[in-house]
Homo-oligomer: A and B are copies of this chain.
Amino acid sequence: MKKLSLRTRVITGTVAVAALGAGTFGAVSANASAPEAAAPAAVRSDSSDQNLQQSTHLTAAAAQKAAQATLDAAKKENQRVSVAVVDRNGNTILTVRGDGAGPQAYEAAEKKAFTAVSWNAPTSELVKRLEDAPTLKDIPGTLFLGGGAPVTAKDAPIAGIGVAGAPSGDLDEKFAQAGVAALGK
């Protein structure tokens, strides 16, 4: 089991405050008109730092920036595509159904993004792995077809960008890579 060092633990606390706001989160998280009654405070105690780890994510704003760069690149070549950004946890964090893109492109983009972030490689590369392991493509959520590109931080995968709708997977992937490139700035 990975245990964070003491130093990391201290950092963790700092990050948590920065990322989640000054301890007010618990009080505002409901989704109904009713204000949350006084919390059952005695029972709720914070998790000990040794039980915690951190993960790195794109901000929603960054995902939007990448998507825009992707759509711009496609538009420049008169291609109609849909785009999706998927987190390292496998959760979709952004989708845009491009104007005039085929209906199959929406879900295809999402699955390409999922695949790219899962193996931290462009889906055009991953397709080649099917020669040795053809059933890889039977893993739920995946699509082994060019058009997905991984996003990394310190070389570790943090997201995938998936594009679909252009006449070839290579073209789709070129646009996805334009989205990745926009995140390096």
Interface residues of A (CB under 8 A from B): 1-5, 7-8, 11-21, 23-37, 39-40, 43-65, 67-68, 71, 75, 78-80, 86-100, 102-108, 111, 114-115, 117-122, 125, 127-133, 135-147, 149-159, 164-170, 172, 177, 180-181, 183-185
Contacts and interface: CB of A to CB of B under 8 A. Distances in A.
Nearest to A174: B43
A102 B118 contact: yes
Given A13-B154, A26-B152, A135-B127, A99 B53 contact: yes
A94 B96 contact: yes
B133 A135 contact: no
Contact of A91 (B11, B20, B106): B106
Contacts of A39: 121, 125
Taking chain A's interface residues, is the majority helix, strand, or loop, or is none over half, making it mixed? mixed
Contacts of A14: 7-8, 11
A94 to B, nearest CB: 5
A31 B172 contact: yes
B141 A100 contact: no
This chain: copies in complex: 8
A181 B43 contact: yes
Contacts of A32: 129, 132-133, 136, 145, 167-169
Contacts of A185: 48
Contacts of A167: 27-32, 35-36
A183 B48 contact: yes
17 contacts: A11-B15, A12-B153, A19-B53, A25-B155, A32-B168, A34-B128, A39-B121, A46-B154, A47-B62, A51-B65, A51-B183, A52-B58, A52-B158, A53-B99, A54-B55, A94-B95, A104-B139
B1 A75 contact: yes
